[in-house]
A = this chain, B = another copy of it.
């Protein structure tokens, strides 16, 4: 196994994020949560995921602080899974993934769901990385500066 857990404290934020969220189901659970899905069975039906796996993933997301359990509103309410602030902060990730998919993964005639602003019904703007001064920046205008923890020398 290679998955960094406690030991080997993965120094790259991308890798760390990926370790949490980049698996087959977690991201889709988060997506559903953004869409207002809150109950176990609704996730299950929406995703077509096995119940034991769903249970496992929900717990992982709870442990990661991305979801929280909350008593459902109303009388005979059930527990609900809701996004925490940390979870809601994944919105840019989900939107970026969506926009890339919309652009590159669908044929010309092929319809796909669309994310729009409720108030206006208009789709969002394309998300672009911006430099400090606010201008759109491409990958080759950037570089990764690594701050080693002053302990062991870094590989890259």
Tell me the nearest residue of chain B to A144, going by C-beta: B113
Q: Contacts A113-B145, A142-B117 given: A94-B14 contact, CB under 8 Å?
A: yes
Is A71 among interface residues, defined by CB-CB distance under 8 A? no
Given contacts A90-B100, A147-B113, contact A155 B13 (CB under 8 A): no
Given A24-B23, A99-B92; A144-B115 close (CB under 8 Å):
yes
Classify chain A: how many residues form its interface, as a range.
35 or more
B22 touches A129 (CB 8 A): no
Given contacts A2-B48, A146-B113, contact A97 B132 (CB under 8 A): no
**Which of A86, A134, A150 has the largest number of chain B CB atoms within 10 A?**
A86
A interface residues with partner B (beta carbon < 8 Å)? 2-3, 9, 11-18, 20-24, 27-28, 31, 34-35, 45-46, 48-49, 65, 83, 86, 88-106, 110-125, 127-134, 137-139, 141-150, 155-156
Contacts of A83 in B (CB 8 A): 139
Contact A31 B14, CB 8 Å, known A89-B103, A116-B142, A116-B143:
yes
Query: Are A96's CB and B105's CB within 8 A?
Result: no
Taking CB atoms, residues of chain B closer than 8 Å to A139 are: 34, 83, 88, 91
Cα(A106)–Cα(B116), bound, Å = 32
Q: Is the CB of B28 within 8 A of A14?
A: yes
